[in-house]
Amino acid sequence: MKGQVALITGASRGIGQAIALRLAAEGVYVVATATTDIGAEATVAAIIAQGGAGKAVKLDVTNSAEVEALFKTITAEHGRLDILVNNAGITKDGLMMRMKDSDWDSVIDTNLKGSFICLREASKIMTKARYGRVVNISSVVGEMGNPGQVNYCASKAGIFGLTKSAARELAKRNITVNAVAPGFIETDMTADLPEKGREALMQNVPMGRFGSIEDIAYAVLFLVSPHAGYITGQVLSVNGGMYM
């Protein structure tokens, strides 16, 4: 995979950062995006520190013009884009009966529409090259639902349909499109949960522990590697045995 170019959205911390570091360790040049000017700088600094190469970019994935401009820049600078990981996502939780339209719209726009826009632009480059690997980051709650997260769950469930449909469209051009659906992962968000809340969640995980961000990074690494060339349109659940 050395010499390949990857774009990873939402790469400032957590799962996105772990994916960026793992791909960079394989010799992939990583374009890491975040919503602020300095958001992904720490990720790229860590990549460089481990001997890799990359670039931090401010990007609003819901803004088509910004996304199109970034993909043109990548093409101009590298002449290729081999890997896209759609990881950018937000939450605005609340009970459905009290949820504002704006909370619904912002989550759907970032998590689902943003993934679509990036995938659409990536497909233009990958189709010409007749090669590409796309991984969309979904969630176990897209499969099982979760109270207080109708907007987030709907966005992550939509990722499944986006993945499967895009995979059918792009397969003949040697472009694979898959999804990874993490379960409960140790991140900044789960670290803030009270102990009783953590214990309650753990009751649903047969393996008896939260996953690590590296668990997700290695799953993505497999799907974008040559070893997964005949896998497309699939959802890889990384959840410690949490199933419906």
Give catalytic status of residue 29 as yes or no. Answer: no
Is residue 55 a contact partner of residue 32, using CB atoms and an 8 Å limit? Answer: yes
| Cα separation of the two ends of the chain | 35
Q: Tokens for 138?
A: 């979904």
Alpha carbons 238 and 219: distance in angstroms, whole number: 8
Is residue 178 a contact partner of residue 192, using CB atoms and an 8 Å limit? Answer: no
- Measured CA to CA in angstroms, residue 214 lies from 73, 142, 154, 211 at distances of 29, 21, 26, 8
Helix and strand counts by DSSP (H, E) for the chain? 10, 7
> 199 CB contacts (<8 Å, ≥6 apart)?
none
Q: Tokens for 210?
A: 């939260």
Alpha carbons 200 and 146: distance in angstroms, whole number: 14
Is residue 10 a contact partner of residue 56, using CB atoms and an 8 Å limit? Answer: no
Phi, psi of 230 (to 5 degrees): -110, 20
Amino acid 71 reads F
Q: Determine which one of 29, 131, 152, 230 is catalytic.
A: 152
Q: How many CB atoms lie within 10 A of CB 124?
A: 12
Active-site amino acid positions: 152
